[in-house]
Amino acid sequence: MAVAAGVPPIQFGVHEYRTGSADGARADFEKMVAQLAAATTPNVRMIAANPGDWGVDAFAGDLGGAITVWQSKYFMPVTTTSHSQQIRDSLAHALKAAKEHGHTITIWVLCIPSSMDGPAAKWWDGWKKRMEKEHSLVIELWDETALMRRLQSPEGDQVRRAYYEPYGSAPPAVEEQLRLVLEVENEKAVALDSALFVRQMVEAGHVELTAAKRQFFNADLVAREIAHKAVPAEVAALSSTDATLHSLWEMQFNECCTEDTLPALHRRVWRDVRDEHDKLPKNLRLELVHSWGLVHRLVDNRKAGWVKHWRQIADDHSDG
């Protein structure tokens, strides 16, 4: 008999599922953060937007003196440098309002339901130090990991139960929701020009590559997340998916070589991937864009290509 252990996993995507919209998710997440802050800090209050909120979602202290501020940003499923301007603006707005209304911010806490990618984390560390020195305050980050740690603590348990524990006729598991498809920042899109999968497409005569870059970018995010979390079922599902997609490519490649129709290879593989997409492991929660992107990852990993001499191109290609 299988026995459940521990407590239900915390899935921050449930805010959007429960409220039915991104705006609803932001408001729901903001309320959760305020309650979580109140679980460990006395006299935490929220500021109603009427019309503005003074750059404060929740605070503790005296608005005639020093306060701690919690600022929520519902960045999902990952926080990237594309969000950095929103973070800068939030702190600037809070500091401006503090000056106008006669209070001082001593601690400013950014709360996000996801983790930062590498470039975003590097930017945050540098920006945090500069702002702390410039404005003489303490800046903290409650990201995905920090929030989970607090929610799983004895003090935060009631908040966890209220927002993340199923009750009654529970909705379908959050894991069944498809992943968001992100845009590729200009800087990263330019960097991908030197990627092997792009070179293989250029060799095959493709001119427009924007969609391919977006497919690869989103699939690579999924693969890195799965490798980082190392959940055995997800690792196995990704390996199975890679094997399936590789087989689709190989079968079409061999047929196109036999028929001398290699210019049609890309189109025929894409057709097969589209037809196979619904049969791929559900626990990966892939959109069709991710499935296509995983084929680009196979090419980038020197396991496939779009021209007959793809192996030679791969051998000659410099990852730098």
Per-residue model confidence as pLDDT tens digits over 39-84: 989 899 998 876 666 888 899 999 889 999 999 999 999 999 999 9
**In this structure, what are the phi and psi dihedrals at residue 36, rounded to the nearest 5 degrees?**
-65, -40
Residue 247 is predicted with a pLDDT of: 95
Residue with the larger pLDDT of the pair 33 and 171 = 33
Across the beta sheet with 138-142, the strand order is 44-46, 58-61, 66-72, 104-111, 138-142
Instruction: Assess whether pLDDT exceeds 70 at residue 142.
Output: yes
Report pLDDT for 6. 59
pLDDT of amino acid 54: 81
Q: Mapping DSSP to helix (H, G, I), strand (E, B) and coil, where does residue 20 land?
A: coil
Q: How far apart are CA 154 and CA 164, in angstroms?
A: 15
% residues pLDDT > 70 (the chain): 92
Q: Taking the CB of residue 11, how many other CB atoms lie within 10 A of it?
A: 14
Pick the closest to residue 164 from 281, 313, 35, 15 (CA basis): 15
Average pLDDT, the chain: 90
Q: Are 301 and 277 in contact (CB under 8 A)?
A: no
What local confidence, expressed as pLDDT, does residue 176 receive?
Answer: 53
Kindly compute the dihedral angle of the four CA atoms of residues 230, 232, 237, 242, in this order, to the nearest 10 degrees.
50
- Mean pLDDT over 195-207 rounds to 94
User: Which of the 8 DSSP states describes residue 142?
Assistant: E
| 5 pLDDT higher than 60 | no
Q: With CA atoms as reference, report the closest residue to 102 among 137, 64, 66, 67.
A: 64
Checking if the pLDDT of 168 tops 60, the result is no
Q: How far is CA 234 from CA 153, 230, 262, in A?
A: 27, 7, 34
**What is the reported pLDDT for 175?**
46
Selection from 40, 28, 34, 6 nearest residue 150 by Cα? 40
At 170, is the pLDDT very low, low, confident or very high (cuts 50, 70, 90)?
A: very low
Percent with pLDDT over 90 in the chain: 75
Predicted confidence (pLDDT) at residue 177 exceeds the cutoff of 80: no
* pLDDT surpasses 80 at 219: yes
pLDDT digits (tens, 9 = 90+) for 246-277: 999 999 999 999 999 999 999 999 999 999 99
Supply the pLDDT for residue 165. 83
Residue 4: pLDDT above 60? Answer: no
Q: 19-46 b/e with 16+ CB inside 10 Å = b? A: eeeeeebbebbbbbbbbbbbbebeebeb
